[in-house]
Amino acid sequence: MGDADVLIIGAGAAGLMAAIWAARTAPGAEVLALDSARKLGAKILVSGGGRCNVTHERVMERDFAGSSPHAIRKVLRRFDVRDTITFFQEIGVRLKREETGKLFPTTDSARSVLTKLLAAATEAGVRIAHPRRVESVKVKPVGFEVEGNWGQVSARHLVLATGGKSLPKSGSDGHGYEIARTLDHSLTPRIFPALVPLTLPPGHFCRELSGIAVPASLEVQNAMGRRLAAFSGSTLCTHFGLSGPSVLDISRYYVDAKATDPGTRLVINWLPGKSGQEVDAELQGRGKLKVLKHLTKVLPDRLAEALMQAAGVSTEVYGHGLTRPQRLSLTKILTRMELPVTGDRGFGFAEVTAGGVPLGELHLDTMESRARPGLFLCGEICDVDGRIGGFNFQWAWASGYVAGVAVGRKLQG
């Protein structure tokens, strides 16, 4: 393998984007991408349930966590949603907007996104070599030398786009963090799974209701009851606990807060938009109606039964038969039920990684390292994680674009 002008470690979403734009910006330059995976683009292929949620119609810094919103915005605005739509259209992927605001390829096929990205890379003149896991990087007087059990290769500029630790079998096993460290970068004190399902103890009724999905609101509260984060959306009961968009979205806030404050609580409102007072008033007015019947108007039968049991109220009781303590107990279970979360399902099931290289260590107009000129970072390796909806890919496209153009300009300059 010959030496390169630009070497990109990782040919996932961010790495491919950086490679395409480096090669487009500096035509004729030798742009080489190395990836450890036998099959490229595993994460793109599994994304969005195999349909690849490429981006979202509206992407704001508040859709992300990690580094400061100001820093995240600086990168996002360099390559916004309109740019993403235009870029994909130009490489042959038309996007369609769904009701939720998520954008998917009109083909509904993640494979078509990957195929077109790879074709665009080839057309721009990018070489991709895989499986080529990079074990270590040495700094040379000019440039870098990258090594693996396949040999070594040198390059004037290096782009680190190794992703995070989520779904390690896809090739993103966190080794990139170690490489970043050897190149004088620090990592956030904690690197943990985000967009991850949460587990409940064996025997919890949610586990018995596997497959039931309902709209619900979730709230992370600290030990004093102060709200730290809140999300609403579809909530899915599973054989291990809870999943679905609302749970995935709130998971990083729960996992993060719980690590430092064991008193952190996750509280669910099974009747989103309704306050305890409203529900209490409704229950008071149910006179001759069975309470269960009242609840099954808005909740699946089995869930309504389970919630009544959890509140210690018979499923046979009529409105007028509810005692005050029973009513208060049921209202609490319906609108402020604490979920006894036992943990999360870990990186193997997480869609993204929270934590990584702080954006403060990069020049955000180029994604170039402040510590190591000639080194660029982009994608999930950075301390940025988005919510469900195409935001994580938008970060990968935007940061990959910024790094690619900047490295291309450096070659020309």
Full DSSP string of 23-82 = HHHSTT--EEEE---SSTTHHHHHHHHHT---EES---GGGEEES-HHHHHHHHTTS-HH
Q: CA-CA distance, 3 to 126, in Å (whole number)?
A: 13
3-state secondary structure at position 326: helix
Cα gap 234→243, rounded to integer Å: 9
- How many other β-carbons are positioned within 10 Å of the β-carbon of residue 162? 30
Other CB atoms within 10 Å distance of the CB of residue 38: 9
| 295-334: contacts with ligand FAD (CB under 6 A) | none
DSSP 359-387: GGGEETTTTEESSSTTEEE-GGGBSEEE-
Among 199-207, 242-250, 299-307, 386-394, the segment contacting ligand FAD (CB under 6 A): 386-394
Q: Would you give the distance in Å from CA 362 to the centre of its chain?
A: 21
Interface with ligand FAD includes 155 (CB under 6 A)? no
193 counts as binding ligand FAD under rule CB under 6 A:
no
Of the two residues 88 and 270, which places its CB atom closer to ligand FAD in the complex?
88
Give the span between the Cα atoms of 291 and 327, in whole angstroms.
Answer: 10
Q: Does 11 participate in binding ligand FAD (rule CB under 6 A)?
A: yes
Least distance between ligand FAD and beta carbon 54 (Å): 7
CB-CB neighbours of 110 under 10 Å: 23
Query: 183 burial class (0-12, 13-18, 19+ CB within 10 angstroms)?
Result: buried
With respect to ligand FAD, which residue has the nearer C-beta, 176 or 408? 176
- If one asks whether residue 67 binds ligand FAD (CB under 6 A), the answer comes out as no
Is 374 a binding residue for ligand FAD by CB under 6 A? The answer is no
Report if residue 192 touches ligand FAD, rule: CB under 6 A.
no
In the bound state with ligand FAD, the residue whose beta carbon lies nearer, of 86 and 314, is 86
Separation in Å, CA 137 to CA 181, 183, 372: 10, 8, 12
Closest CB 156 distance from ligand FAD, rounded Å: 19
Q: How far apart are CA 120 and CA 275, in angstroms?
A: 52
- Which tokens go with 6? 């630009």
Separation of CA 413 from chain center: 36
**Nearest-approach distance from CB 356 to ligand FAD, in angstroms:** 10
* 253 is a contact residue toward ligand FAD (CB under 6 A): no
Query: Using CB under 6 A, which of the segments 36-44, 229-237, 259-267, 301-309 binds ligand FAD?
Result: 36-44
Q: How far is the CB of 191 from ligand FAD (least distance, A)?
A: 14
Among 177, 240, 254, 393, which residue sits at the site for ligand FAD (rule: CB under 6 A)?
A: 393
- From the list 5-13, 137-145, 217-225, 277-285, the region that binds ligand FAD by CB under 6 A is 5-13
Closest CA to 191 of 209, 179, 177: 177
CB-wise, 137 or 266, nearer to ligand FAD?
A: 137
- Residue 255 or 295: the one with the smaller Cβ distance to ligand FAD is 255
Tell me if 392 contacts ligand FAD by CB under 6 A. yes
User: Which string of x and - marks every residue 37-66 that binds ligand FAD (by CB under 6 A)?
Assistant: x-----x--xxx---xx-------------
Fill in the per-residue mask, 100 to 139: x = in contact with ligand FAD (CB under 6 A), - = not in contact.
---------------------------------xx-----
Number of residues that bind ligand FAD (CB under 6 A): 37
- Residue 211's Cα: distance from chain center in Å? 22
Quick one: which of 105, 143, 171, 244 contacts ligand FAD (CB under 6 A)?
171
The contact pattern for ligand FAD, residues 257-296, with x = CB under 6 A and - = no contact, is ----------------------------------------
Report which secondary-structure segment, H or E, holds 128.
strand 127-129
Contact 208, 196 (CB under 8 A): no
Q: Which of 25, 67, 84, 166 binds ligand FAD (CB under 6 A)?
A: 166
Q: How far apart are CA 385 and CA 353, in angstroms?
A: 7
Candidates 78-86, 166-174, 317-325, 354-362 — which segment interacts with ligand FAD by CB under 6 A? 166-174
Give the binding site for ligand FAD (CB under 6 A). Answer: 9-15, 34-37, 43, 46-48, 52-53, 133-134, 161-163, 166-167, 171-172, 175-176, 351-352, 379-380, 390-393, 396
